[in-house]
Amino acid sequence: MKNARLSICMDFTVGSVDPRLFGSFIEHLGRAVYGGIYEPGHPEADEQGFRRDVLELVRALKVPLVRYPGGNFVSGYRWEDGVGPRENRPRRAELAWRTIEPNWVGTNEFADWAAKAGAEVMMAVNLGSRGMKEARNLVEYCNFPGGAAWSDLRQSHGWTTPHDIKLWCLGNEMDGPWQIGHKTADEYGRLACETAKAMKWADPSIELVACGSSHKNMPTFASWEAAVLEHAYEQVDYISLHAYYSNADNDIADFLARSLDMDTFIRSVAAVCDYVQAKKKGKKQIHLSFDEWNVWYHSHGQDKKIAPWSIAPPQVEDVYTFADALLVGSLLITLLRHADRVKIACLAQLVNVIAPIMTATGGPAWCQTIYYPFLHASSWGRGTVLQTQVDAPKYDSRHFTDVPSLDAVFVLGETGDILTLFAVNKDGQEEMTLNASLNGLGNWRVTEHLVLAHDQLDAVNSLDNPNRVAPRRISQAQADGDTLTARLPSLSWNVIRLAKV
Ligand code: AHR
């Protein structure tokens, strides 16, 4: 049996959680839109063709924000193709994913879908193959009440009230050679700066996210962020981070250590933002938008076999294991531990494409393993993150040293009378006994201990067996005054909820 000690104190907080930390992402890619959120003719389809069963699973996740329409897709997208009468919309050869985009769903329909899902749209503009003018026109189309050509056009399309989209991405992964219209940091920084000015002149209430590096191992990482912010510091509010993690080596200890990679990534980007702020003697702190994060590797092989140029082929459909859910839990804990700097994060993606929700065309929808840690964190991870001292045994793995075998964070709920501990026991051999001092927080009682555990790391949920990996309640936690003790099963995601006595 391993032992861990935790300590929190009311006076030491990380900060309040921005609800947008639990955002997600829908791209025109594979079956995310067509066959995912939208399937006219499906028994669950509503009057607009949106699947009610999918909407229900999305609403349960309380996703406050959904990034759209890409992703790599956005760098070839003409948003004008997706508005107006459907019968006039063109089919386009989509170069990022080599499919045919029929434009059955566009800006207006997606805004309606997001409203039904209880989420705001985080809109990305095309700064790959297009530029400032088209981006500024889209802001007017979406946000102007009317009285100018683009907003009048929206009204003529049947949307009389503006969508009022508050958060916009200035392109996507512009540092990546795979991107349509890939740019150098200086080219992109200038374009982002000028586009941001025009977009904010069209609507001064919007916030903007500049593209950071596509991942931490990009050759231009850190110098890209510095150069982009040198150009655009005054105009933008956030810089983006993207990261996908793999267990292709089938090495669970090394895989679960990857939350340390996310932690280092966040610290490094925050340091670059602060460097530029200091250099510019600026007052504004640039915050982080971790707008693509997840596990992604299962589908790489099968995607190579998909023939190009069809509509909505089953691309990027990772089937997530129980092991993946553990890492997703650790990544959520890492994001919460940086809630002072990471204000926006998007689990990439939401339906079918590297997603917590899967659908069968014409059939049911179900929850993948990773649905559950996200559900728990989004449901109970709002409020104030408390600095959580973790003293747990450490291990070394292939790529990491001194990996804590316990990831943990406490969040005090918005009303102050609910305290939630999220914890992942990464030890593959033993249960962990946890002893937490809740210094100065008063007396508590445990109301619930939820656990996601499974004796097979590669267990998955599927159409035939949708509940193979699902959380269950256990009774292995007790609070005595201001001390919490618990036993966490080997390799488990845990949520321990306490109420003030
Ligand atoms: O989420 C899938 C893809 O991953 C996105 O289109 C791109 O931005 C990233 O490389």
pLDDT for the residue 481: 87
pLDDT for the residue 303: 95
Distance 216 CA to ligand 1 centre (A): 14
Distance 73 CA to ligand 1 centre (A): 8
Atom 3, ligand 1: residue with shortest CA distance: 71
CATH class name, domain 2-10+386-500: mainly beta
Distance 71 CA to ligand 1 centre (A): 5
Q: What is residue 481's three-state secondary structure?
A: coil
What is the value of pTM for the model shown?
0.98
Rounded distance, CA 407 to CA 484, Å? 16
Rounded distance, CA 315 to CA 470, Å? 25
Taking only the tens of pLDDT, the chain with its 501 residues reads 899 999 999 889 999 999 999 999 999 999 999 999 999 999 999 999 999 999 999 999 999 999 999 999 999 999 999 999 999 999 999 999 999 999 999 999 999 999 999 999 999 999 999 999 999 999 999 999 999 999 999 999 999 999 999 999 999 999 999 999 999 999 999 999 999 999 999 999 999 999 999 999 999 999 999 999 999 999 999 999 999 999 999 999 999 999 999 999 999 999 999 999 999 999 999 999 999 999 999 999 999 999 999 999 999 999 999 999 999 999 999 999 999 999 999 999 999 999 999 999 999 999 999 999 999 999 999 999 999 999 999 999 999 999 999 999 999 999 999 999 999 999 999 999 999 999 988 899 999 999 999 999 999 999 999 999 999 999 999 999 889 999 999 999 999 999 999
pLDDT for the residue 10: 86
Which of 309, 298, 405 lies closest to 93, judged by CA? 309
C-alpha distances in Å from residue 357, one per residue of 70, 281, 296, 297, 379: 18, 45, 15, 17, 17
pLDDT for the residue 36: 98
Show which residues are catalytic.
173, 292
CATH 3.20.20.80 fits 18-380, yes or no: yes
Which of 425, 423, 332, 316 lies closest to 370, judged by CA? 332
pLDDT for the residue 401: 97
Ligand 1, residue 354: give the atom nearest the CA: 1
Residue type, position 68, single letter: Y
Q: Which residues line ligand 1 (CB under 6 A)?
A: 27, 70-72, 172-173, 292, 348-349
pLDDT for the residue 348: 98
Residue that the structure tokens 């845990």 belong to: 494
Ligand 1, residue 348: give the atom nearest the CA: 1
Residue ranges per structural domain of the chain: 2-10+386-500, 18-380
C-alpha distances in Å from residue 242, one per residue of 18, 211, 329, 409: 18, 9, 17, 22
Do 145 and 151 contact (CB within 8 A), yes or no? yes
Which sign, positive or negative, has the C-alpha torsion 140, 146, 149, 155?
A: positive
Distance 243 CA to ligand 1 centre (A): 10
Q: What is the pLDDT of residues 447-483, one digit of tens each?
A: 999 999 999 999 999 999 999 999 999 999 999 988 9
Do 390 and 337 contact (CB within 8 A), yes or no? no
